[in-house]
Structure 1
Amino acid sequence: DSMGDEHVWELLLPLPTTASTSMALSLLTFRLLLTSSSSSSSSEGYWSTDEFLPENRRRLRDRREKLERTLTESGIPYLPSDSGLFVWMDLREFLPPPPSPDESSSASSSAETESRESMERRERSLYLSLLNEHGLLFTPGLSMKNELPGFFRCVYSAASDGEFELGLERIGRCADAMRRSKEET
């Protein structure tokens, strides 16, 4: 009893990658499924890299373009990407303000130089707000060796179509709500 094309696509696309360490697992899963699927069903026409790879690229491109369109419409800067599984978003405008020099825990910090600890606290605060108040889960940039707080990785390849569309709606609502909140303070 072999799987039909729809079921194989459902299992494999989009490739699940929610954190940097899961990339290796995703590729391993892809290779294992490719091996087992091609040996058992390519002769029956259910599986082919000639079909899968172009379809995977098309789906990833479509999602990236939708995400970039939503970010543009929401006024959220991002670093354009022409490949990959995520987009870097610049959410610095939503970071809590840095502490004043007298509030800083480090005696060596100044108004010009914010401590790493302070940057991590501010980015974590935004991360938790995005998650708890807006239902958005992004990877904080500092945890990915980004040097500035406020950049977040948005992985667009890991959600179902419905979850992805809901995420796009939430991004727009979140940006509006956070800007309104900022204006009120």
Structure 2
Amino acid sequence: MSPTSVPKSVNFNDAATGVKATFKQNKDLSSTVDEVLKAQGVSWIARNAIKLAPVTVNLNFFTSSDQLLHLDVEQLLPAGAKSEEPRILDGTIRTRVSSVFGPVLASSKLITLDEAAAISPFLANGWEPDSQLIYAYAKGDTSKSNGYEWESFQVFGFADLEVDEGMTERKYVVRLFFKSPSLKEPVEKRLVYDFHSLST
């Protein structure tokens, strides 16, 4: 197995076992997201840094002592910038202030393929048939003076992707359906991450 292929043991199916791992963005297999970041108010300098260098993701999927399911995602961006996205998977809308995206309203939960398809067919494409998926909804908090108007619908999971002719690898994948008045129409993006290491 390729060292960049995600081991089968890494999945969202067993909350008791959980997942704690590091991934690096595969630029060749990922969509460009410059217009999405621009709609979210990310500066030109930061957007261009993200274009040039891959993002590192630290992912922690676990059950807390109060029996709530969590997916915490830490993104290490170029030039030392960092975005932390803690998620409790109970579907509750929560407010937070992102160091990258400003004030945000967000919720997360487990989701089925049918539920993903009802939001956007794109979100339901390409997943392993037996995989557990995580859905994250977010929008800019326009009640705040520095909030931008946008909506993000994301599904997180694992999928076998063709990395070369006749060769597939299992990857960590984020599918994004995104809307903003600053865009002519909604956009669909796929972000792909190579396996790097397991954490303790």
TM-score range, shorter chain: under 0.3
- In the superposition, the TM-score normalised over structure 1's length comes to 0.24
Whose strand proportion is higher, 1 or 2?
Answer: 2
Whose helix proportion is higher, 1 or 2?
Answer: 1
Greater CA radius of gyration, 1 or 2?
1
